[in-house]
Amino acid sequence: MTPTPHISAGSGEFAPDMLMPGDPKRAARIAADLLTDATLVTDVRGISGFTGTIGGRPLSVMASGMGNPSISIYATELYRFYGVRRIIRVGTCGGIPEDLAVGDVVVASAAHTESTTGTVRVPGVSLSLAPSPHLLRSALTASGADVRVGPVLSTDFFYLTRPGVVDALGELGTLAIEMEAAGLYATAMAEGAEALAILTVSDHVKTRAAMSSDERERRYERMLDLAVKTLSL
C-alpha cells in the first residue's frame, strides 16, 4: 500500500536501514555527505527522504519532524508498508547531568515519557520503551568509551517541563531530554521492527550551554559515524 498518506515513495524505494534526524534540512545534508547516488524518494510536507548506498550497502535517510506523534506516523508507515526494518534516530538532546557536555554523544538505552505512546496500547500498563537489543549491543561495541549510555526523557512539551521534573529525572540517572525516542521505540515494538536513538547534546538544561544552529549541523559527525558503524556490525 504505497504511497502512504504521508510518504510519496514507491515500493522498494527505501532501504531496510534508515537514519532519521528530526530536521528535513539535516536529512538532506546527511544524505549529501554520506550517501553515494542519493535519490530524493519522498518530500510530502517537506519531510524529505533519500536512498543511496554507503560502503556498497543500501541506506535511506529521512526526517521525522518534531515530537513523538510525528515520528510515530513516519516510522509506522516505513516499517509497515515500505519494508524498513531498522531505524536509528540521529538527533539532538538537552543534557541533564553536570558532567555531560555540549557535543557529547548519548545512546538512549531507555525512553521515559509523559506521552501516551507508552500507555495507549495495553490498557492499565505503562510499557517499558527500549531500543532493539541488537542495535544497542552493536552501538556499544562500535562506540568505545566515548559515549554515555542511559535513559532519556522523550517529552511532548518542549516549553512545558514542570519545575522539579528535570531534577527528579536526573536523580534517577536520566541523561537527557529530547522528543522522539519514546515514540520511535513504541512504534518499533508495535511493528516488530528495530530502533535505536543516538543523540548529540545540543544544549544543557542546567548550565544553559548551547550550540548555535550552525554548530548543531557540523557537530553531528561523531553521532553519524557511530550510527553508520552500528548498522554495519
Residues with catalytic function: 203
Which residues are near ligand HPA by CB under 6 A?
Answer: 92-94, 155, 158, 177-179, 202-203, 205
Sort 80 into a burial class: Cβ within 10 Å, 0-12 / 13-18 / 19+.
Answer: middle
> How far, in Å, are 48, 70, 98, 202 from residue 1 at the CA level?
19, 20, 48, 38
Tell me the closest approach of the beta carbon of residue 69 to ligand HPA, in angstroms: 14
Q: How many residues in the chain?
A: 233
How many Å apart are CA 168 and CA 132, to the nearest integer? 26
The nearer residue to ligand HPA, 49 or 67, going by C-beta atoms, is: 67
Minimal CA–CA distance to 93: which of 26, 151, 140, 37? 151
Q: Which is nearer to ligand HPA, 17 or 23 (CB)?
A: 23
* Residue whose CB is less far from ligand HPA, 42 or 155: 155
Rounded to the nearest whole angstrom, what is the least distance from the CB of residue 106 to ligand HPA in the complex?
Answer: 11
Shortest approach of ligand HPA to residue 79 CB, angstroms? 24
User: Which residue number, 47 or 177, has a Cβ lying nearer to ligand HPA?
Assistant: 177
Position with the least CB separation from ligand HPA: 94
CA distance 72 to 181: 10
In the block, cell 559527525 appears at 221
Shortest CB 56 distance to ligand HPA, Å: 34
Q: Which of 72, 77, 63, 71 is nearest to 28 (CA)?
A: 63
